[in-house]
Amino acid sequence: MSSEMFGSFRFGSKEGARALLKNAGILNDNCLLRLECTSVSGFLGAIEDLDVATKRSLERMASSCAISKQQFMKGGSASKEHSHVRIKALLPVIVFTITAANYFVMSCTYTLPILGQVVVKIAPVLSLLWFVTMHINHDGGRDSTGRKLQCGLFFSCIGDALLIEDDLFILGMLAFAMAQISYIAALGFDQLKISRGALVYGVNIIVTPNIIPSYNTVLRWCIPIYGFLLSTMGWRSISLSSSSPKGQAEWKRLLVGAGGVMWMISDSALAYNEFNQPIPYAKVIVMSTYYAGQLGIASAVLLKQ
């Protein structure tokens, strides 16, 4: 076959196909013939006078063209669908950012009724619950990690609402203890990293005695237990951030680890400000690190995708 015959041909008629094949000479396995045809049957009808072996060879090539075109179109549709899902997944994060900023504006500027305080405070966490739920639905509801993260976010909303009233502090701590248990279950124990756990627990042992109030017997028992759960959650998140599973994006793991650290800072600052001595800008420090911690832990749903 001459060099000018190489390329893609559209056979508009039986006569045109015969003329091109006649000019090409004898077809064999070494010939490079790229065919672009509207249909397999139409093309085969145009070459009915060829020998059987050549017909079968061209039939396979034409069928391959048709299948490749279908796969290409399917791949393009899947790519567009994937991009659409990624754009939709950003919406809860945008809502989270807006509602977190709104919390600081509203809580520092206005005196809201109890219900208003609850709504403003839990709105960022609810947006993260939306974020996790969206990823679970995209995975067909088979993501057990996402379900556990949902439980953690749900108990966090309850804890946030209860901590608005000082008299409900212990109940709020209990709700957050349930959230920590849910997060620990979601993060798992696949990557132990014992040295990092020893470091986190060591810091907890140093910090906890300095924030336990001596006047409340219940808190003297509850705070160390909660501190243990918080430290375990922090250990598991940091362990994930320092591991590197094959094909895993590093920024996702680092975000989870940073979330655990931020949450430990938030609760430590909260307890120190509540039971030891006031911290300047305590609300800003506690809630900014808390929301950042929730965002980091919720992003663990991305590690299982």
Res 118: pLDDT: 97
Q: What percent of the chain has pLDDT over 90?
A: 58
Residue 14 scores a pLDDT above 50: no
Q: What is the mean pLDDT of the chain?
A: 82
Q: Which residues of 258-286 are buried (b: 16+ CB within 10 A; e: fewer)?
A: bbbbbbbbbbbbbbbbbbeeeeeeeeebb
Query: Is residue 38's pLDDT more than 50?
Result: no
* Count of beta carbons in the 10 Å neighbourhood of residue 40: 16
Least confident segment among 42-56, 96-110, 140-154, 202-216? 42-56
- The pLDDT of 13-22, averaged and rounded, is 54
Domain boundaries, the chain: 3-71, 112-304
Reported confidence tier of residue 24, pLDDT bands at 50, 70, 90? low
Give burial (CB, 10 Å; 0-12/13-18/19+) of 72: exposed
- Rounded to two decimals, what is the model's pTM? 0.74
Is the per-residue pLDDT at 255 higher than 90? Answer: yes
Is the predicted pLDDT of residue 268 greater than 50, yes or no?
yes
pLDDT for 96 beyond 90: yes
Percent of the chain at pLDDT > 70 equals: 70
Question: What pLDDT is stored for residue 31 in this prediction?
Answer: 44
Residue 10 — pLDDT band, cuts 50, 70, 90? Answer: very low
Total H helices, total E strands in the chain: 10, 2
Confidence of residue 42 (pLDDT cuts 50, 70, 90): low
